[in-house]
Amino acid sequence: MRTQYLIALALLAGLSQTPARAQTKEVTVAHQDMIVPFRAAIAAGAVEKATGYKIDWKMFGGGGDVIKAMASGEIPIGEVGSSPATAAAAQGLDVEIIWILDDINNAEQLVVREKSGITDLAGLKGKKIATPFVSTSHYQLMYALDKAGVSSKDVQVLNMRPPEVLAAWERGDIDATFIWDPVLSKVKADGGKVILSSADVAKEGAPTFDAVMVNRAWAEKNKDFLVAFVREMDKANAEYKADEAKYTADSPQTAAIAKIVGANPADVPASLGEYAFPSAAEEASGKWLGGGKDGGVAKAMANTAAFLEEQGRITEIPADFGKFVDPQYAAAAAK
């Protein structure tokens, strides 16, 4: 009987451990619709092949939604813009940025209806502007309006996810939008005119980026996965930068990217060209993820936090954003 009892205990122990082992080999990753080289790697299953993990790639409409999913424990890793990443840190989430998906550079733009006659930010007074709240586009819009002396009370800023922005534009419900591709190209083609870009806002003191953010406790248990994950993102960027000319409207890489994000393949090459993609070595340096609180990402988050607090989006500013930035995975991928 004792032998049977011990065997039963052993079987129960084995059963209880099986889900835990399986769980370490499965992960849900949140991504968005930004047009970046890594989408082709997603389509090819590159991360799965490199890691052996089963990955559920789940697309979200904006960084705010990704942060909510991470806060609820639904996902441990996801793509977020610098503004929602800052908000997450300020709200006390135990998270860290491990990779810069892209330097937004010129990839987000403020578009108005050409027939509206609006030529500058002052012309937006009394108008309806759509953008995903807590996104980098939202941050840049509010920052630019503030710099131009246009009060938030002078305009009606509407919170919409990218697909909702496009639908509202097509219905004629909005006068302007600060948004990224694939919606950006679509509204520009449908009577839209650009009056401001993310590059313009960066010159005014508000640079932005998209990042990969991960739950810190999960990262500690899955370091090998994250190094391989980062290495695949770096590889995709390197392949793009080595031969940008092959990313034509009818190339397989472009088709794969377009399919993942729901873009028109003809718009993909130009959209890719609006972003900048740092290498793993560059990302590990003080210009980006390295340098602690004095690193580029930490400083950008601190500046973003000051503006978000001023706008009433957050109530407290962490003293050191360096603890929310971890360069170790980029450094390992660069070796």
**Can you list the domains of the chain with their CATH numbers?**
27-103+209-334 (3.40.190.10), 108-203 (3.40.190.10)
Helix axes 296-310, 82-90, angle to 10 degrees: 70
* Average pLDDT rounded to a whole number, residues 202-217: 95
* Average pLDDT rounded to a whole number, residues 278-295: 97
> How far, in Å, CA of 267 to CA of 264, rounded?
5
Percent of the chain with pLDDT over 90: 90
Say whether pLDDT at 121 is over 60.
yes
* Average pLDDT rounded to a whole number, residues 117-128: 96
Percent of the chain with pLDDT over 70: 93
Confidence of residue 24 (pLDDT cuts 50, 70, 90): low
Q: What is the pLDDT of residues 243-282, one digit of tens each?
A: 999 999 999 999 999 999 999 999 999 999 999 999 999 9
Q: Is 98 helix (H, G, I), strand (E, B) or coil?
A: strand
* Average pLDDT rounded to a whole number, residues 54-68: 95
Rounded to the nearest 5°, which phi and psi values hold at 179? -155, 175
Nearest to 272 by CA among 295, 249, 291, 292: 249
Neighbours of 16 (CB within 10 A): 9
Confidence of residue 22 (pLDDT cuts 50, 70, 90): very low
* Average pLDDT rounded to a whole number, residues 45-51: 98
* Angle at 142 (CA atoms; ends 141, 145), nearest 5 degrees: 85
- Specify the pLDDT at position 258: 97
Mean pLDDT computed over every residue of the chain: 92
- Specify the pLDDT at position 311: 85
- Specify the pLDDT at position 17: 41
Say whether pLDDT at 18 is over 80.
no
* Average pLDDT rounded to a whole number, residues 208-214: 97
Say whether pLDDT at 29 is over 60.
yes
